[in-house]
Structure 1
Amino acid sequence: MERQISMKLIPALLLGVFSGSAAASGFQLIEQGSGLGNAYAGSAAKANDASTIYFNPAGMTQLQAREASGGVAAVRPSFKFDDGGSRVGVFGATGDGSDAGSWAFPPNAYLSWALNKDLYVGLGINAPFGLSTQYDKPWKGSAQSDQFDIKTININPSIAYRVNEMVSLGGGVSWQKIEADYYRQVGIAPGLAGVRAHLNIDDSAWGWNLGALFTISPATKVGLSYRSTIQYHTSGTSKLQSDGTALATATARALILGGGASDVKANLEVPDTFVLSVTQKLSDRWDLLGDVSWTGWSSIKNIDINRTSGPQAGRVAQTIEADFQNTYRIALGANYLLSEAVTLQFGLAYDQTPVKNSSTRLASLPDNDRTWFTFGTQWKPAKQQKVDLGVAYLYIPNTKINNNQTTANPLTNRGTLTGDYDSSVWILGAQYSIAF
């Protein structure tokens, strides 16, 4: 029994480690290896270290016989709400919720191994999706979201084959686990003011990825990579909790002691991604990098949370109306060889949000288009070692929200949240790579 409990705890512990706040648009985490200093331009073409396993597994054929890479990104988003006439969904709710962002530290690790001069295998472990928003209480949007957390862990064994000196192909499979926690206040009536809803769901599923790397000339490389959608059939629980004051009313007591808790299920399909990358050596000191990527966020429309037990089994507990659209990202980067040991890195990127407009913007994800400004350096302390350090500032324009979730039922009335978000993101990244 103890061994079974320990084995069940392992995925939960890993999810705690491999969690983070989204720095790319939506709730995607692009901080999966070296490249922050270049805004991840050239990600599928450069193949500088073992983190190519995530960006383009075909790039392993450009590495030495055995290479390992690992690192961490420190991500600090900021989401500050300014009310513009909200009609609250919780009795007596006031305040703007302070800053809903917080620090997160998603790590990554990779190992590449040559079986012979043309055939390579590798393993990557990372967190491709993550989200964390938490508002201080009280605040006007608490009926729509108090706290929202998405955590993932992705384990990605890969293989690559050098067809000839110009073409390499690669692919892999991904075992991915997701867990989500969602908290919000319930009820516009005074007797329900202390009731809080907590939704927890999780699942694991499989996906796959493919890549190709073309060495057009010694100075030019082109990379293509694709990551599949992953379909989750999550299950979990939905519970109502009280701070004690709500139990003063018979309605609240019946709500919490009666149909307030149940098992639930929900289907979620995280998006696929296609990347086209180019690297071009301009001179002995300058390299130019470019990226165009597409993400199929339209796989996430309305997410129905369905009850599977209790008095309301078969009914929808809540629908999260995201209605996402597909997005693209464009990145440009440059490297300058300052010395044999030090390379300076520069980057600029535009990252489109999947949120269509203010009426579909969620308090749990007040996302908007992002412009990346990045700088970094690569230092080689020894011939077989590299350290990449980077910093990024993500400019996010004024973000409007006008999300109407008003209903006639006081138990499901979440009001209308109207106002503006002042948002930004800072990212610090460090990556260590070694060949052995």
Structure 2
Amino acid sequence: MKLIPALVLGLFSGYASAAGFQLIEQNASGMGNAYAGSAAVAENASTIYYNPAGMTYLPGRNFSAGVSAIGVSFKFKDAGTTNPTALGGGAATGGNGGDAGGWGFLPNGYLSWQLNDRWFAGIGFGAPFGLKTDYDKDWKGRYHSTLFDIKTYNINPSIAWKANEVVSLGFGVNWQRIDATFDKAAVVGLGAGGGAPYTTARVSNELNSDAWGWNAGAIFQISPSTRVGASYRSKIKHKADGDQTFGSPFNAALNGSAKATVELPDTFILSAQQQLSDRWELLGDVSWTGWSSIQSLVITGSTTGSSEMLTKFRDTWRVALGANYKYNDAWKLKFGVAYDQSPVDSAKYRTASLPDNNRTWLSLGAQYKLSKDSVLDVGYSHLFVKDSNVANDEDTAARGLLAGTYEASADLVGIQYSLSF
């Protein structure tokens, strides 16, 4: 699993779209519905991620693959950012950092097959978490962050059991890798000895880890027109290690190893799918994410000791509502809206690495049957993100005060091909 081809991994460039740095875009077929009904809809093999029990609704063998393009904008407007007090304090020099967002691409792939009348198996590949904020190197908040880049790669073998015509159950294991880069300007003592007088150096932390988790789900076919699904994905605890390097040759003696521990949150989804008529279908979704597992990020360098970035994340809720309209035997139109709560709820603990806030989704999509056994899905979502105030004075000696406002938004485009054979 660690030898996933570098070409495939290179496609992943994570920009957070769901709140926090969760990437809900593990298919394109649900994007048009703002991912409403994700744990109940089982129209292709991507159900392996959202609810493995959905494989019992996929006879024979099923393949699904796609890619989502995520464009995020984070624009900072200064309102009193200061230099570190160790460097004398005062108003920070530099610009506002440019647009810290950008475009990223998330591929996904799934395969399921029916073993017999009751048992099904499958495997999925995706990226459930990701984030990238990239600022101009000499911006005002450079002592807080210049680059924060998290990528995850997740392989998810799964099984499902059809207990009867009403109840289906599913279970999966997850092997997950995380690659993280965190760059910023740092206040250090001259040479390796430390202490005043102070100078500035660029510090880069590159860490990685792999760990295991699990997921499970159930689907209840309450009536021929009503289906309810529930699914859960466990926390995954990563103990990452790697290198810490300083850009200044005067501080080469500080170069060494680094380590950090992070517990990525668990999630629970409750979904419903209701067939209203031959043409109209209604979808609903309520999901919970246990972001409170991340209260801080502590990076410990072998030569520099520990540095902590407080996050004080809270648990969050996401609510989505969607509808499908069957225009004819070939075309289906999709609509969706969602409200997504951010784990960041305080200007004091909002960071330059994750200037996140609550967001509203508006989504459209279409599905076209290429043939009896193949389907093409496309989707588009625009995310309206609430303006975010920041007043982070967690460590004024080493970082200074980061004060200002972020304007943010996001656009998502997805395409997916599904085949039954």
TM-score (normalised: structure 2): 0.94
- 2:60 aligned partner: 65
After the TM superposition, which residues 21-420 of structure 1 pair with which residues of structure 2 at under 5 Å, given as runs?
A: 21-33=15-27, 34-89=29-84, 93-187=93-187, 195-242=201-248, 253=250, 256-258=251-253, 260-307=254-301, 309-310=302-303, 312=304, 315-316=305-306, 318-408=307-397, 413-420=398-405
Deviation of 1:13 after TM superposition, in Å, equals 5.3
**Distance in 1 between the 2:4 and 2:42 partners?**
31
Q: How many residues align?
A: 409
- 8 Å CA contact 2:355–2:388 kept in 1: the answer is yes
Q: Which residue of 1 aligns with 2:194?
A: none
Residues 70-121 of structure 1 show CA distances to partners (whole Å, capped at 9, x for unaligned) of 0000000000000011113378631001100010001100000001121100
For residues 402 and 396 of structure 2, the distance between their equivalents in structure 1, rounded to whole angstroms, comes to 13
Can you list the C-alpha shifts for 1:398-431, whole angstroms capped at 9, x where unaligned? 11111114444xxxx1111100011000000111
Query: Which one-letter code corresponds to 1:426 in the other structure?
Result: D
Q: How far apart are 1:194 and its partner, in Å?
A: 5.5
Q: How far 1:304 moved relative to its partner?
A: 1.7
Secondary structure in 2 aligned to 1:265? Answer: strand
Displacement after TM superposition at 1:352 (Å): 0.3
2: CA distance, partners of 1:367 / 1:431: 28
Aligned partner letter, 2:337 = L
Q: 1:192 to 1:388 in 2, by over 3 A?
A: farther
Quick one: distance in 2 between partners of 1:335 and 1:28?
Answer: 25
- 1:4 is matched with none
Q: Tell me which amino acid in the other structure corresponds to 1:204.
A: D
The residue identity in structure 1 corresponding to 2:272 is V
Equivalent residue number for residue 14 of structure 2: 20
Deviations, residues 1-33 of structure 1 (Å, cap 9, x unaligned): xxxxxx976476554333311110101000001
SS at match of 1:58: helix
| Structure 2 residue ranges without an equivalent (≥5) | 191-196
Q: Percent identity?
A: 52
2:70 touches 2:104 (CA, 8 Å); kept in 1? yes
Supply the distance in 2 between the matched residues of 1:274 and 1:238 (Cα, whole angstroms).
Answer: 36
Question: 1:11 and 1:175, CA in 2 relative to 1: closer, same or farther beyond 3 A?
Answer: farther
Runs of 4+ with >6 A deviation: 188-193
Change (3 A) 1:25 1:221: same
Aligned residue type for 1:213: I
**Mean Cα displacement is larger for which, 19-28 or 163-172?**
19-28
5+ long unaligned stretches in structure 1: 1-6, 248-252
Tell me how far apart the structure 1 counterparts of residues 247 and 296 of structure 2 sit (CA, whole Å).
25
Distance 2:6 2:146 in 1: 23
Looking at structure 2, the residues matched to 278 and 339 of structure 1 have their Cα atoms a distance apart, in angstroms, of 24
CA contact (8 A) 1:15 1:151 kept: no
Helix, strand or coil at the partner of 2:10: helix
Counterpart residue type for residue 59 of structure 2: Q
After superposition, the Cα gap between the structure-2 partners of 1:343 and 1:8, relative to the gap in structure 1 and judged at 3 Å, is closer
**1:61 and 1:160 in contact (8 A); partners too:** yes
Conserved 8 A contact 1:186-1:192: no
Offset, 1:188: 9.0
Is the 1:225–1:275 Cα contact (8 Å) retained in structure 2?
yes
The residue identity in structure 2 corresponding to 1:149 is D
- Do 2:172 and 2:216's aligned partners in 1 also have CA atoms closer than 8 Å? yes
Could you tell me whether the CA contact under 8 Å between 1:224 and 1:275 is conserved in 2?
A: yes
Is 2:420 aligned against 1:435? yes
CA RMSD, Structure 1 to Structure 2 (Å):
1.8
Q: Secondary structure at the match of 1:105?
A: strand
Q: What is aligned with 1:3?
A: none
Give the TM-score of the pair, scaled to structure 1.
Answer: 0.90
Helix, strand or coil at the partner of 1:61? helix
CA contact (8 A) 1:39 1:374 kept: yes
* Inter-partner Cα distance in structure 1 for 2:282 and 2:3: 45
